[in-house]
Amino acid sequence: MSSTLNNPAHPRNVQLTADGRLKHFLSINGLSKTLLTEILDTAESFANMGEQAVKKVPLLRGKTIVNLFFENSTRTRATFELAAKRLSADVLNLDINTSSTAKGETLMDTLQNIEAMYADMFVVRHADSGAAHFIASQITPKVAIINAGDGRHAHPTQAMLDMFTIRRHKGAFEGLKVAIVGDILHSRVARSQIRALNILGAAEVRLVAPKTLLPVGIEEMGAKIYTRMEEGIKDVDVVIMLRLQKERMSGALLPSESEFYRLYGLTTQKLAYAHPEAIVMHPGPINRGVEIESAVADGPRSVILQQVGYGIATRMAVMSMAMSGQMHERSQIQ
């Protein structure tokens, strides 16, 4: 994939229409506060749909959405599928492990074959950074691309559901201090969260991790670095814990999981350093006794399960807005 497409600063022109509407959702970078707020407001309109007798709206009726997951996922894939079905779309889940790509077909051949079936949107999860940008640049512009996580680069819908969770529980971003704790080095979620928090006006974004799990130059994205947990979460309003991504680690980055838990695991005792009304978040899956204590994960300040529910509403918002932007752009061309 070209270095241009791997560049996080590139997506501005790719994912927006000429008049600034969303047509792909590839990265938080390059998006405005106004657009991020529109996503959150649209998600709000879908937030209580799960409580309704009929959990559907006809916004994407007749549209075909393909979940194209090259990495394993349960929570993200399930919420995307539910989101699409609640928008009344037809959904195809492509199992890459048994697809033609596993038999030697190239990625582009696979995509072009699905495109020939008149798919309207691809939801892409891939281990390579820049994969979603690459696909968006190669296929017909009539297909919307939603990035469901690419390498260490970005996970924009996870970041937006996290922003929705924060706004629901804290009301506004101005004045908020947010700590992101754990494996920052391998986390595409953290990178997207940092960008979203800064765009939306959070007062302070802190990264708390051992030096071996901090990317070089990450503070240039607009975050303060802390290597001691107690200092890093002192008086913060939101604590976002990240799991250790052992599948992406190479070499001895940590002495042991038990040592990591002792220094950086969120326990009831450590949480006392945060603001008394601080909420605890986690993008999941959580590893109890590694990055978080069960008493905290299941405690009254945890909003981890709410995040999962909010993920459906947020992904409904992104998918409906991207499809609307695609249709608007086509109408302008015609």
Alpha carbon distance 258, 196 (integer Å):
32
**CB crowding 217-255: b at 16 or more within 10 Å, else e:** ebeebebeebeebeebbeebbbbbbbbbbeeeeeeebbe
Strand 238-241 to 177-181 pairing: parallel
Catalytic residue among 76, 79, 157, 165: 76
Catalytic residue among 21, 23, 86, 125: 125
Catalytic residue among 63, 155, 186, 206: 155
103 catalytically annotated: yes
Amino acid identity, position 175: G
76 catalytically annotated: yes
Catalytic residue among 37, 75, 248, 288: 75
Alpha carbon distance 190, 205 (integer Å):
11
**CB crowding 6-21: b at 16 or more within 10 Å, else e:** bebebbeebbbbeeeb
86 catalytically annotated: no
How wide is the angle at C-alpha 152 spanned by C-alphas 149 and 156, nearest 5°? 40
Catalytic residue among 34, 74, 98, 103: 103
Comparing C-alpha atoms, which of 68, 58, 1, 40 is closest to residue 314? 40
Comparing C-alpha atoms, which of 284, 306, 318 is closest to residue 84? 318
75 catalytically annotated: yes
125 catalytically annotated: yes
What size, in residues, is the chain?
A: 334
Alpha carbon distance 47, 27 (integer Å):
23
Residue carrying structure tokens 């929705």: 164
> Helices 188-200 and 33-46 meet at what angle, rounded to 10?
100
Q: Catalogue the active-site residues.
A: 75-76, 103, 125, 155
